[in-house]
């Protein structure tokens, strides 16, 4: 099973201002702002020269999946080529639990993702490869 870092997600209240901040650290926009109606969020992916990625997430309204989240770090995302083995690893090591069903992610060409919570209270996202 292959697991690798995919991106880090940040909740923001202004995507354009956040882009300006991350540009100072060498990040540039990757594509345009995406409207994710599955989770009621605006999304913008940023990437640096080393292919490190940051996802900026802004709620659309009170129905947003992050409506009650604090600004700042929201989640860390991994990509795996084997969801079953990943879930088995999670369960065997009692690292945490999954709290969403599979969701189509418009930011990733509708690849399926799901979210979970690690025992240290960090939210993680899995992007299926």
Contact 63, 70 (CB under 8 A): no
Contact 42, 58 (CB under 8 A): yes
Model pLDDT, residue 119: 86
> Residue 127 pLDDT more than 90?
yes
Containing H/E element for 97?
Answer: strand 96-98
Q: What angle do CA 92, 127, 104 make, to 5 degrees?
A: 120
Instruction: Report the chain's mean pLDDT, rounded to a whole number.
Output: 93
pLDDT in tens, 88-108: 888 888 888 888 889 999 999
């Amino acid at each position: 099973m292959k697991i690798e870092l995919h991106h880090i997600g940040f909740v923001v209240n202004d995507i354009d201002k956040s882009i300006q901040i991350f540009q100072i650290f060498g990040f540039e926009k990757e594509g345009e702002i995406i409207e994710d109606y599955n989770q009621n969020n605006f999304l913008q992916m940023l990437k640096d020269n080393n292919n490190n990625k940051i996802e900026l997430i802004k709620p659309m309204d009170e129905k947003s999946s992050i409506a009650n989240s604090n600004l700042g770090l929201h989640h860390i995302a991994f990509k795996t080529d084997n969801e079953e083995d990943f879930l088995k690893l999670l369960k065997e090591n009692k690292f945490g639990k999954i709290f969403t069903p599979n969701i189509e992610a418009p930011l990733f060409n509708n690849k399926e993702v799901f979210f979970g919570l690690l025992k240290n209270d960090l939210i993680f996202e899995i992007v299926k490869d």
